Chain A
């Protein structure tokens, strides 16, 4: 039997447990004996990983102030356990057996992330060499490559925070660039991990990349221009290219990369849009991109420049679309990522380029049909065109995000482009993205932008959200006989939600099948919400009413659908999560419509409150959480209160102590002691020194009295709770103009009573509304109008607290 001291006194929290677990895990990694096969089923490895992370076995950190008598012993024990663990891992890393090598590399990566700084500094060079060998070995497996690159990336990421090894780690990192470039050239299939490492080096070791900047650039660019990797990899490569200017960190290299990207996009479009747009657009943009007298930068060459034999149509799908994607993605990253110095963004060319793409709708423009523009080509281009538009909209979104307030001079033209395009956009994914663009514009430009966009947003959203309209569309599309007359019935159904006949149910299900996808509706609702938040009813009263009505109807329906009480609106085939999101967005938009200032009282306030109350019952869902917030937000609307700035009696006591502190400790001699040597504080002058000296004395006495009395509210002597400044050191005028709130507090009671907040003369209440723009609303209406039972109106108490 083990000696008693071997048992863990602290149970699971006993620190001695950690080295023990680690030792046992190290033993598990040992493949001699009967355990040999367990390493290879993955389960063992997963178990080890979980244990290491769960217990923090590698941290070697004793809690702050750990004072066990065995502290030194425990430290030693833990240290040696980690030593053994690392030793074991290193053996595995250089093992010939791929599984073992892989397991060792992965766990070494975890160790690098979690081990102590001392251990890292002491052994990083050994680890680096081991991992480098793995990378350079040509016969390796994908798993091992990926793990090794990730491991190296983690190693250098951690080392970057130690300035004392900066020099050495930079020189180490330089040795990695060559293998990475090799890998890029070799067309390896496991490039992603290497690109991750490259990005890390650009971020943390720019000087390592600086030396071979051009090589890296051309390697990345040629990879992009060849355009035959899969999308995920392309995205990574484009991201790396966009990050590359950081290696130099000057404004010039940023601009050059940006310029090259845009020229490449433009040239690509010249090729693709031939015959489908007016001629000369490309050269016009080129003129903007490369101003007269400047020289264009050397361009990246397209490796597999299409030969004549390649069929134009195949080229379009297989190489041009990915190429456009990666070029625009690079631009997006550059526009939105941080950069150490200020840069010059070529806004005009950028917007012209975006406009160029959005303007092409696939119709033939040139009268003389070019030989390259066959009808088949047009057909194929049209099938790819929406994808192009989506990419370019992403670019527009990035421009809006990147420029922020600086978009101002160009805002009007952006609005022009987008709204023109919106009129032509029919595909759901495009409409959703356009809505998002409008939303961003509203966010970035505020009320001024809402004047421009109100009409477009509300107009388009009511088409996308209105189910009556959908029905009409459907009946137009066909199936007319079965759906005849349904719009009318639907309308009736909307106004009185109780009428749910079987007939109508089937119809709405049919309509539901064909209605605009939820993603578009969600985007439309979001745009509406933003519009109402930033723009309110600025100059659009009529539109506003329409929007309010639409939103209350939608929110009611979507909540009904969500709670499952009215199955008739259930849209078949839509996942419940999307449904929930839709409901959430509808309720959010409703809240905005209720809160957003309008010139009349929100017409659907009581319905809205009821709805939120109902939604609140769906406990445990996002919807319920939001409904609760909404009710909180609406509180101020149903109980408008004019709360005095400070209504606690306590501050009087606080003032005393603060004054004393202020006067004597912080600014000695403030209140007049330095009367005769005022020059000691040249910047400050004494305030009526003579007067205040006497006054101060008086005031303190008064304050003390006030302080004591404020703790006995029952006494209720109005004079004793007067704020100390009353009648002290001030003219009579000041007393006459006492804050009315003070007088109230003095006159009635100084208990911590909330009811006091609401005691306010009716005159004041009315004018509060006047100020907010609710001219029609008088105090009385407020009481009668809130017809919701759950929210009693504020009682406007008569005031007798005027000073006499």
Chain B
């Protein structure tokens, strides 16, 4: 099998020396991590490698020699390099050689052991694969391969394929800590040998994050203790809180903030990404909320809104009154039962009258209330949207009441009709056996049953029409509320940090690798360039989606239609309190 040598691009111009890295026997590949330059003392090199091996649990060893020639091969150097093979024994021993200023490489692999079968080739072919060490170090493969736990001595065969290369480079950070300005005993060449990479801002943030996290964790624990006190568990308050989506959103945000500012360090990369995504999402939310706040509170917009609110409520009530007048007449040319029509119409009209009185009673206080609610925008745009949704629900409460009345009436009627229809055919519903059985009725039972059936059938169009109209209105309100909740959900669950990372540093999130064949000459080893294939955007969103409150409709379209037909009450956006996991 061809031997694959993974060589870092930063070492292609390094001076001659020893190749240090890890040998993966299952894939017949050698991952070169660094080059040790002359002069060196073999004992110190071995000590350094033992230290690195202990710190990183990666089987780092001397793999071979690297020769970057100036002109003709120097005989002494050649023999010297051969001699090194005896000091650092490694099976197989790799010898890479490059002429300075040209792209021609030559590779030789020697096996110490005599090949067992006579027709196995004495020297293997070598394939050179160049990789960018920094990018491979920082990148994260998706899907993440299950890494063995750190107690197992050497990270071995459970990482299959190219994930082994990524894993090796990522774990060998201890090897890359020294740069050429260090007064160390051994001089190495790797991606950080020109100077260790660090950022002042990141270091400062790391130092500051400790006390800041403690402070916020303390404040958040106070808030959650206050919200968990007994007062909120009493019946009226807990019922209201479970119905309002604002409380749900606030609770969700509190949970997220507690997670972000928890004093435990993130255990693995996915938890770190989750924390970062949540933090960015909260920050963006608050920024948008503050923008909304400044827009609302400037130029007396709250006053304008409050002034417009009562006329809008009045207008809605007036339109409903017109609608009821139309229903009480001959709607769409249908002939209604006059008596029932009048009763229902007057009943609903009285409700609207009550509602308007309440609105007018509240109108002096509306501006104050709106002003205080506007302040809540500083908690985030999602909280404002939830409040908006709740306000819509409150303002259209009368539509909800009408829908419930209409649905209940219609449901009763349908139940009565179905049972009397069964009587009409001589059958009855057997409750014990949950099925329809035949039954012999007396004559007077049949007579009264048929009479009632006729009455109900003739009253059906009226009730059905009222039910239809109010159900449509209710569905309209529910659709509007649903759109707002969808927007809130989107803001809550979009992983903005991961998307930003994919945009600006695509090598950090990788779906795999891609290879490019470099200039090739016959007789020379094949050279490939390995680059990182970034994760596509839809997979980024799918993998790093934050858990949200989840306002998916519980019913499929079929069951929704069935419920509508039979007059059962529908709650398409289930109260989130019951869906907590």
Q: Is B one of A's binding partners? A: no
Measuring CB to CB, which residues of chain B are less than 8 angstroms from any residue of chain A? none
